Amino acid sequence: MKYFSWLASIKTTVFCLLWLTVLTFWGTMYQAEHGLYRAQEMFFDSFVFLGFEIFPLPGAMLVMTVLFVNLLASFFVHYQAGWKMPGLMLIHIGLIMLLLGGFFTKITGMEANVSLVEGQGRNLAASLTEWEVLVADELQNVREIKAVELDDLKKGTEFAFDESGLRFRVLEVFDNAKGIEGESGEGVESPSGFRELKPLPRRKQPEEDLPGLRVAVEGAANLEEAILWGNDRRPVGLETPEGHVRFLAMRKRRYELPMFIELKDFQRTLYPGSEIPKDYRSLITVHLGDEVERDVVIKMNEPFRLNGWTFYQQSFAIQDNTELSVFAVTRNFGRLIPYWATGITSLGLAMHFLQMQLMQLRRRKRKSA
C-alpha cells in the first residue's frame, strides 16, 4: 500500500512533469546540433540515457510510463470521493488516453514513402530509415523475394531464407558505413568493389545513413563472403548447390500497400510573380483489385485515407522536365485516439478552471458579506 501511495502521489506527478520539462528543453537544444532523430532516440524514445555521456538518467519513455501508472493509481486513490470535480476526472481520463494512444501508435504505426513520376504506378512503399536484406530468385520481373530486417541482424546472427541451402552469418554490421575500395580477396564479392567496411558516425538525418553488412555465405558455389552497402548499384549473385541463381541485396525496407497507385498528374502553383508555393497537388488513380479504380486528388493538408492507410503530399522534384511527386504513407489504426483525448482533456481543463474560479468568487462574496 505504501508503494501504491507513492505511485499515486501528486509529488510523483510533479517530479515527472519537471523532469519531462527538463528533457524537452534539453532534447530541443540537442536537436540544433545533432538533428531531430538523434535527439528523439536519446531523450524521447529511451527509458534510460547517459547524460553528458556519463550519468545514467531516466528517458522520456520511462518518465511517461511512471506518469501513466501515477495517473491510473491516483485515479483510484484520489477520485473516489465522487463527481465533485468532474473536470479533473475528465483531464486525467483524457491524459491516460493520450499516453495510451502514443504507446499504441509506437507499437503499430508505420511510416514510409512512395515516389512516382507522372504515368508511373506502385504498390510498394519504402521506409525512410529501415533497411532489409533480401534474396530474390530472379533479377528482373522478380517472382519471389524473401527479406530480413537489418535491425534484427547483429554480429554472429545466422539466417537463411529458404530451402535452397544458402545460409548466412553476420560478420559485421554498421548503421552507417563507408567502403574501402580494393581487391576483396578470393571468394569475397562486393557490388561496389570494396575490400572492407569502416563504420561512420550516424548522420543528423537518419535517412542519409548508408548501412554496411559483411556476411559469411554457406552453400554458395561461387563465393564464401559478401560485402553489402546501402548504395550498391547491383546485387550479389549466388549459385546454389542445385545450380540455380539467387540474388542477395540490401535496400530500404518495403511495405506492400493494399492498393496500386498511379500518378496521373502533378501540379505546383506559385503565387504570381514569386517563388512562394501556393499549392502542390497530385492526381492519382487508385486501383483496388482488377476492376475497381478511382481518381483521387492528394494535396497539402488534404491527404487520402483508405482502410487505415493515409497518403500525404510530402514533396516533389523536377528532373529533366519530369515531375516526381513524393507521398508520405502512414498506417496507424490508433490515429483517432489523440483526437478524442485532446477533446476530453481540454473540456476537463475548461470545466475545472471555471469551477475553481466560481468557487473563488463565491468564497470572496461570502467573506465580504
Q: Is residue 11 involved in binding other proteins (CB under 8 A)? A: yes
- Find the helix or strand (DSSP H, E) in which 252 lies: strand 245-270
Indicate whether 13 belongs to the interface with other proteins (CB under 8 A). Answer: yes
DSSP letters along 352-364, please?
HHHHHHHHHHHHH
333 part of the interface to other proteins, by CB under 8 A: no
Does residue 314 belong to the site contacting other proteins (CB under 8 A)? yes
114-126 as b/e, with b when 16 or more CB fall inside 10 Å? bbbeeeeebeebb
Supply the minimum distance, in Å, between the C-beta of residue 357 and other proteins.
5
Nearest CA-CA partner of 112 in 326, 293, 269: 326
- According to the binding rule CB under 8 A, does residue 318 interact with other proteins? no
> No. of H helices and E strands in the chain?
5, 19
Residue 231 contacts other proteins per CB under 8 A: no
Phi/psi region, residue 156 (left: phi>0; alpha: psi -120 to 50; beta: rest), is left
Name which position in 81, 107, 276, 369 contacts other proteins (CB under 8 A). Answer: 276
Applying CB under 8 A, among 279, 293, 307, 333 the residue interacting with other proteins is 279
With CB under 8 A as the contact rule, the residue among 5, 14, 198, 244 that binds other proteins is: 14
Stretch that binds other proteins, among 156-164, 173-181, 188-196, 359-367 (CB under 8 A): 359-367
3-state secondary structure of 182: coil
Strand pairing of 188-189 and 225-229? Answer: parallel
H-helix or E-strand containing 13? helix 10-39
Residues forming the site for other proteins (CB under 8 A): 9-11, 13-14, 17-18, 20-21, 24-25, 27-29, 31-32, 36, 39-40, 44, 98, 101-102, 105, 109, 111, 270-274, 276-280, 300-301, 303, 310, 312, 314, 328-330, 332, 335, 338-339, 341-342, 345-346, 349-350, 352-353, 356-357, 360-361, 364
